[in-house]
Amino acid sequence: MTDPNGLIGPGRPAPDFTLPATPDGRRTGLREYRGRPVVLAFYPADWSPVCGDQMALYQSAMPEFESYRAAVLGISVDSFWSHRAFAENQGIEFPLLADFEPKGAVARSYGAYTRGGEAARALVVIDPDGVVAWRQLYPQEVNPGADGILDALERMRVSGEVRVG
Amino acid sequence: MTTPLQVTARLRTPVSGADHVRGATDAPVTVVEYGDFQCQYCGAAYPNLTELLRQREGTVRLVYRYFPIANVHPYAESAAEAAEAAGVRGRFWEMHDWLYEHQDQLDPVHLSLGVEQLGMPPDDIGAEVERHAHADRVRRDFVGGIRSGVNGTPTLFVNDVRHDGGYALPDLLAAVDAAADT
């Protein structure tokens, strides 16, 4: 928590941002999702060489996230052109945001930027009031799956922060 | 930087009578596979799992659960539903094997021929797949997998602990032997 370079801790207000979400320059950011839980999935790069890439998996799991009314945003330093091709290839429909210029600025503000110049593999779950509820950093090469996210959303539901629609 | 978490995911949905099981019911080691019939890595693991069951007969049993990543594999969901349609007829493993042995023929036309080859009624099974009669079962497996930390396919759990090693036969034999010894 006190480490200035560490991943943002629970209880802290989530830094606001807007990032390009589509090649036509449309931007999206946290403010648009206020009142709903938001899952930020920072990841190193598009095009990881496995079946069941993390972002493709989240697309398949979207009905589960939506049952908590949660929005999922993928964030990497790839450009939106790369994101668009990647999303088309993997059938991803949720926003992949380009933390491209200034490079990694949003990842840095969450403490999720690596010395190698990529976003870390990190998950941040933000409550409907914009406060960090849960976060976890993972090894770069490990696909973290979705169980940690769903557990965090379930705890929110149990504590009454999220009404299941 | 905060220390990354090396997660040891555990199976949260216990094996039950509703599962498709191959091998001795009283085997001390249970391997649960979450698989996608259109995934090439699952296809590569398939003969190794078969050989594992042969070499460790009596020691290990295999449970298969559906984990179609449909946005990447357009035929994965219908293949899973067809396997379940065969399953309700007591023919799950025959269909499972056919699907992994014909991964390039999962389109509706070839799938229907496969069902016929196996001596099952292609029109009935086709209709069940068409109206998603078995979609709930497939989804239940998928959601249980997501909750258990399945992060791609194939994902194996060996006695409830996620196997993060490889899928080559020596890796699988070593994992099963280690579990049998504990």
Q: Given this model, what pLDDT does residue B104 score?
A: 97
| Averaged pLDDT score across all residues of chain A | 90
pLDDT number for residue A141: 84
Given A6, A144, A147, which is nearest B148 (Cβ)? A147
Per-residue pLDDT, A1 = 36
> What are the φ/ψ torsions at residue B65 (nearest 5 degrees)?
-125, 150
Q: Is residue A10 part of a domain?
A: no
What pLDDT does A25 receive? 76
Position A161 scores a pLDDT of: 73
Say if A29 falls within a structural domain: no
**What would the pLDDT profile of A100-157 be if each residue is shown by its tens digit?**
999 999 999 999 999 999 999 999 999 999 999 999 999 888 889 999 999 999 999 9
Classify residue A5: in a domain, yes or no: no
**B84-101 as b/e, with b when 16 or more CB fall inside 10 Å?**
bbbbeeebbbbbbebbbe
Q: What percent of chain A has pLDDT over 70?
A: 92
**Cα B91 to Cα B86: distance, rounded to the nearest angstrom:** 5
> pLDDT under 50 in chain B at which residues?
1
Class of domain B28-181: alpha beta
Using N-to-C axis directions, what is the helix angle for B92-101 and B76-88, rounded to 10°?
A: 150
Taking residues A41-52, report their average pLDDT: 79
Q: Is residue A115 part of a domain?
A: yes
Residues B62, B49: contact at Cβ < 8 Å?
Answer: yes
CA pair distance A59, B69, nearest whole angstrom: 9
Element (H or E) spanning B42, and its range? helix B40-55
Whether pLDDT at A2 is above 50: no
A6 falls within a domain: no
pLDDT at A26 over 90: no
Decide if B165 touches A, using CB distance below 8 A: no
pLDDT for the residue numbered A3: 42
- The pLDDT value recorded for residue A160 is 82
Answer yes or no: is A25 within a domain. no
Distance CA B179, CA B28 (A): 8
Q: What is the pLDDT of residue B72?
A: 92
Catalytic residue list contains A1: no
Best residue in A60, A65, A68 for a mutation probing chain B (most B CBs within 10 Å): A60
Sign of the alpha-carbon dihedral angle for A13, A19, A22, A25: positive
CA A61 vs CA A58, B13, B48, B69: distances in Å: 5, 17, 28, 9
Indicate if ipTM > 0.90. Answer: no
What count of other Cβ atoms lies within 10 Å of the Cβ of residue A19? 19
Residue A4 has pLDDT above 60, yes or no: no
Write the burial class of residue A112 (CB in 10 Å: 0-12 exposed, 13-18 middle, 19+ buried).
Answer: buried
Strands A38-42 and A27-29: unpaired
Confidence grade of residue A50 (pLDDT, cut at 50, 70, 90): low
Whether A50 maps to a domain, the answer reads yes
> Which residues 31-70 of B are in CB contact (within 8 Å) with A?
36, 39-42, 68-70
- Domain of residue A140, residue span: 34-158
| Residue A51, domain CATH | 3.40.30.10
- 3-state DSSP call for residue B104? coil
Q: Give the pLDDT score at B101.
A: 98
Which positions ≥6 away from A59 have C-beta within 8 Å?
Answer: A90, A91, A92, A93, A94, B71
Q: Is residue A16 part of a domain?
A: no
